[in-house]
Amino acid sequence: MSAPPNLHFQDLRPPAADFRAAVLEGLGRRPRSLSPKFFYDARGSALFDAITRLPEYYPTRTEIALLRRHGAEMARLIGHDALLIELGSGSDVKIRVLLDALRPRAYMPLDISHEHLWRSARAIAADHPALAVHALCTDYTRPFALPAAVLGLRRAAFYPGSSIGNFEPAQAQRLLRAIGALLGPDGRLLIGVDLKKDPARLHAAYNDRDGVTARFNLNLLERMRSELGAEVDPGGFRHHAFYDAEAGRIEMHLIANCAQTLVVDGCRFDFAAGEGIHTENSYKFDVAEFAALSAAAGFDTLQVWQDEEGLFSVHGLAVARPS
């Protein structure tokens, strides 16, 4: 399929050198760590899609159910004819639920995963010929410019999936503040936030029976091999995920089963058995906790939707007027 005329695609994807530098830096530090944004190469994005369909992984289907049930209310909060910016759009399933109710003037999906963004933006543009789709492949934690064609429009953002939980609270606050600055006065933000709950339920969501989450985590090592030419045996590592109730977060790690040596660019990294790489945090929030975080970042909470089981929430926020 060729590109529909209403699709504009800008490729500002981070250079491969970013991954190389992050790996060298992250493996050199103690504790060793890597940002979860590096999960999303083509294979990692496909594995993440598989995660969203797992019986244990409740966030995606719960959030979609909330969008279906309350989409009209959410649309009222955002208003029609806005520029709708979607952060970390990934697949297009969620925005499709909202699009008819929201009736934006222009839609700007942002994602770090090139193939994923291209496929979903093209499909949305083809199915909505009157909608201007300005896709931008980028790391949305970095500053980015809006295309000139959309500068006059009122702005709203959709940030689904509880990806905000991947950031340390102080970092999350900074990112929310940057989103607020981008949206400007009267800006609206719909954001998905995973809720605190029974640790067993959380544990299961990140330790699925089929091992898809394990493959997703271990894919970071595959990516080091294929993209950086690293010497590493992914079979020598295992997936480890647990809920830290005190910190209110899931942690994911890659743990060496026995002594391992990883070589990147001639740099050697030795792992003793049981040593690992911290690959992800996924913070969980009570409704009041997240409202406090967004307030500290300059947002008023207008409305919060959650399912009956209290698994997942969507917060409807407005950029607060300066007091």
Q: Which residues bind ligand AVJ (CB under 6 A)?
A: 51, 59, 161-163, 165-166, 206, 213, 280, 282
Task: Kindly tell me which of 283 and 305 has the beta carbon lying closer to ligand AVJ.
Answer: 283
43's tokens? 């294979």
Contact present, 112 and 136 (Cβ < 8 Å)? no
321's tokens? 């007027």
Nearest position to ligand AVJ, beta carbon: 282
Question: Would you tell me the crossing angle of helices 42-52 and 114-127 to the nearest 10 degrees?
Answer: 60
Q: For residue 136, what are the contacts with CB-CB under 8 A and spacing of at least 6? A: 10, 12, 108, 109, 110, 144
Shortest distance (Å) from residue 166 CB to ligand AVJ: 5
Shortest distance (Å) from residue 267 CB to ligand AVJ: 27
25's tokens? 């830096």
Task: Kindly tell me which of 49 and 115 has the beta carbon lying closer to ligand AVJ.
Answer: 49
Task: Kindly tell me which of 165 and 298 has the beta carbon lying closer to ligand AVJ.
Answer: 165
Amino acid at 78: I
Beta-bridged to residue 87, according to DSSP, are 110
Task: Kindly tell me which of 91 and 213 has the beta carbon lying closer to ligand AVJ.
Answer: 213
Q: How many CB atoms lie within 10 A of CB 31?
A: 10
How far is the C-alpha of 129 from the C-alpha of 126, rounded, in Å? Answer: 6
Shortest distance (Å) from residue 244 CB to ligand AVJ: 13
Task: Kindly tell me which of 165 and 236 has the beta carbon lying closer to ligand AVJ.
Answer: 165
| Virtual torsion, Cα 146, 148, 150, 155, nearest 10 deg | 40
Shortest distance (Å) from residue 165 CB to ligand AVJ: 5
User: DSSP for 137-166?
Assistant: ES-TTS--PPPGGGTTS-EEEEE-TTGGGG
Task: Kindly tell me which of 189 and 264 has the beta carbon lying closer to ligand AVJ.
Answer: 189
Shortest distance (Å) from residue 251 CB to ligand AVJ: 10
Shortest distance (Å) from residue 59 CB to ligand AVJ: 6
